[in-house]
Amino acid sequence: MDNRKELIIKAAEKHRQLTFDAERYIWKHPQTGYTEWLANEYLIERFETLGYELIRADRDPGYGKIPGFYTDIKTGRPGPTLCIMGELDALDIANHPESVNGMCHSCGHNAQAATVLGIAAALKEPGMLDGLSGTIRLMLVPAEEMIQLAFRNDLIKQGTVSYMGGKVEFMHRGYFDGVDLAMMVHQSSGGDRYDFVCGRGNNGCMAKTITYKGKSSHAGGAPHLGINAQYAATLGIQACNDLRETLQEKDHIRFHPILKGANCAVNIIPDEMVIESYVRGRTIEAMKRENVKFNRALAGAAAAIGCRLHINDKPGYSPEIEDGMFMELVEDVCRDLVGEDRVNFEYDSYSTGSSDFGDITCVMPGVQFSTNGATGTMHGIDLYLSDPERLCMNAVKAQLLVADRLLKDGAEKAKEIVAQYKPRYASIKDFFEDIKAFDMDQEAVLYGEDGSITLRFTK
Ligand SMILES: [Zn+2]
Ligand SMILES: [Zn+2]
């Protein structure tokens, strides 16, 4: 092992207990997006004890208070800024045996957050920044999971945030200004064969809140006086399902609605039914195109039943594309760390999931890769962290080693990756202009006094 690698691994190992303790604490205190105050407080205290000065998202004048923060570690030599981030939020998954107040870290963000603390501690060890140029920005971001759409829409209305996703919100606030490249490690429950895995990217997504409004009445005695919003909603979902064969495989479109439940008793015709859904896809263009078809189907179903319909569409996350050259560097580091046969990087494989890391990859080169060490189903009630050594310590070591490779020798490799990267948008500002296309909040079916019906399923 060369001296540099040995120094970095020793620095990571020295703080293993700090990393493991953080992982357990955050697992036991799960909170969903934009409410992750306990994890936030825990990490802030430890970052400050390590001597870091933090830019806190709850103390930013001009913006609403949300969890999350970042700190810049300057090497003292000019060069690019590398952002390493971890996510804070849990999922609403009340049936998980270890859920707390209905929430659990069934996506493993507790491990990511702990990993970034481990990196922060290791970077304080003597010699860690020797020979490096540029800046390392360590960032803890809230709200990766795009859930609780009603709550998030309220936060947007109140002006607390402008976007559903934490990284997009952080971009909007300028916390990525001056960042040249970004990386993060997610957890995977992919078994024992590999320690590190990575695909080429993820679907993008947009968020839909679909509200059918009918009229309540006695379900037995006077159903003829009611308008059944539940039937309109299920008919709308059926119409969307019947469109599935018109979707093209290349676009990877996913539409997965959930009914939020009737707010009435069994002997009442339901007067309101809310559906939340995403439309996911490989490209923004495909998502825009297919979303119009889904909205048309949803509106047609409302008209068929004589129901009102309100559609609230919001931008979600952009398609994620890992930078090829950056990915090769990460793969090389991972192979060197755990052995070639323990690493599986697939350069042509795309997931139909989504992450707001996609928004980051629209404007700078980025890689999100995964460490194994969990068992069960991602987003499932059987998901547990089983091997913190593989899950957390591999992530700490690999990211430290990648940062070292990127920023050594005048940050030559980081500069090379930045130079060859082709952004999907010329600037973060252009990116925000484009995703505005998904913003729609309107009545989608208008009933005229003359009996005419107008469907308004586009902006
Ligand atoms: Zn996740
Ligand atoms: Zn997730």
Residues 6+ apart with CB under 8 A from 215: 225, 226, 227, 269, 271
Ligand nearest to the CA of 378: 2
What pLDDT shows up at residue 132?
98
The alpha carbon of 144 and the centre of ligand 1 are apart by a number of angstroms equal to 7
Ligand nearest to the CA of 141: 1
The alpha carbon of 359 and the centre of ligand 1 are apart by a number of angstroms equal to 15
The alpha carbon of 145 and the centre of ligand 2 are apart by a number of angstroms equal to 6
Ligand nearest to the CA of 370: 1
The alpha carbon of 188 and the centre of ligand 1 are apart by a number of angstroms equal to 9
The alpha carbon of 112 and the centre of ligand 1 are apart by a number of angstroms equal to 9
Token pair of 242, please?
């019947």
In tens digits, the chain (459 residues) has pLDDT values of: 789 999 999 999 999 999 999 999 999 999 999 999 999 999 999 999 999 999 999 999 989 999 999 999 999 999 999 999 999 999 999 999 999 999 999 999 999 999 999 999 999 999 999 999 999 999 999 999 999 999 999 999 999 999 999 999 999 999 999 999 999 999 999 888 999 999 999 999 999 999 999 999 999 999 999 999 999 999 999 999 999 999 999 999 999 999 998 889 999 999 999 999 999 999 999 999 999 999 999 999 999 999 999 999 999 999 999 999 999 999 999 999 999 999 999 999 999 999 999 999 999 999 999 999 999 999 999 999 999 999 999 999 999 999 999 999 999 999 999 999 999 888 888 888 888 889 999 999 999 999 999 999 999
Taking the CA atoms of residue 211, residue 215, residue 218 and residue 220 in that order, the dihedral angle to the nearest 10 degrees is -70
The alpha carbon of 356 and the centre of ligand 1 are apart by a number of angstroms equal to 10
The alpha carbon of 46 and the centre of ligand 2 are apart by a number of angstroms equal to 25
What pLDDT shows up at residue 436?
87
Name the pTM for this structure: 0.94
The alpha carbon of 23 and the centre of ligand 1 are apart by a number of angstroms equal to 15
Ligand nearest to the CA of 109: 1
The alpha carbon of 224 and the centre of ligand 2 are apart by a number of angstroms equal to 44
The alpha carbon of 142 and the centre of ligand 2 are apart by a number of angstroms equal to 12
What pLDDT shows up at residue 394?
98
What pLDDT shows up at residue 82?
98
Ligand nearest to the CA of 93: 2
Structural domains in the chain, CATH included, are 3-200+322-424 (3.40.630.10), 205-317+436-455 (3.30.70.360)
The alpha carbon of 127 and the centre of ligand 1 are apart by a number of angstroms equal to 33
Residues 6+ apart with CB under 8 A from 87: 109, 112, 113, 140, 141, 142, 144, 166, 184
What pLDDT shows up at residue 450?
97
The alpha carbon of 78 and the centre of ligand 1 are apart by a number of angstroms equal to 33
Cα–Cα distance between 195 and 370 in angstroms, integer?
Answer: 8
Cα–Cα distance between 46 and 38 in angstroms, integer?
Answer: 13
The alpha carbon of 253 and the centre of ligand 1 are apart by a number of angstroms equal to 20
The alpha carbon of 375 and the centre of ligand 2 are apart by a number of angstroms equal to 15
The alpha carbon of 22 and the centre of ligand 1 are apart by a number of angstroms equal to 17
What pLDDT shows up at residue 307?
98
What pLDDT shows up at residue 208?
96
The alpha carbon of 200 and the centre of ligand 2 are apart by a number of angstroms equal to 17
What pLDDT shows up at residue 430?
87
Phi-psi region of 265 (alpha: psi -120 to 50; beta: other; left: phi over 0): beta
Listed as own residue / partner, the contacts of 343-346 with beta carbons closer than 8 Å and 24 or more positions apart are: 343/194, 343/195, 343/196, 343/197, 344/193, 344/194, 344/196, 344/197, 344/198, 345/196, 345/197, 345/198, 345/369, 346/197, 346/198, 346/199, 346/200
Ligand nearest to the CA of 92: 2
What pLDDT shows up at residue 431?
82
